[in-house]
């Protein structure tokens, strides 16, 4: 099975901000293998499709990453 991987290169901000918010590439949901649902049973034992709790039925996920930049602590 192929997997989508993304590498982040971090570089300290050139603007006066200590927080960055990055959105990564859309990837297949690995929890449901991209199907978006699982088989389940309802109260009458009928097979029903339950949406994946991770991707909410889309079969895809996207990382949203918040980065906080801090000054280096100076040891005395």
CA separation for the pair 65, 3 (Å, rounded): 19
Cβ 5 to Zn ion shortest distance, Å:
18
Site string for Zn ion, 16-55 (x = CB under 5 A): -------------x-xx-------------------x-xx
CA atoms 5, 27, 11, 74: torsion sign = negative
**Token pair listed for 33:** 């293998």
Cβ 26 to Zn ion shortest distance, Å:
13
Positions touching Zn ion (CB under 5 A) are: 29, 31-32, 52, 54-55
């Amino acid at each position: 099975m192929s997997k989508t991987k993304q590498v982040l290169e971090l570089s300290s901000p050139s603007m006066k901000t200590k927080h960055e918010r990055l959105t990564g590439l859309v990837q297949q949901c690995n929890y449901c293998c991209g199907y978006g649902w699982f088989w389940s049973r309802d109260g009458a034992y009928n097979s029903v499709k339950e949406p994946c709790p991770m991707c909410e039925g889309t079969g895809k996920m996207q990382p949203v990453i918040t980065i906080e930049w801090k000054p280096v602590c100076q040891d005395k």
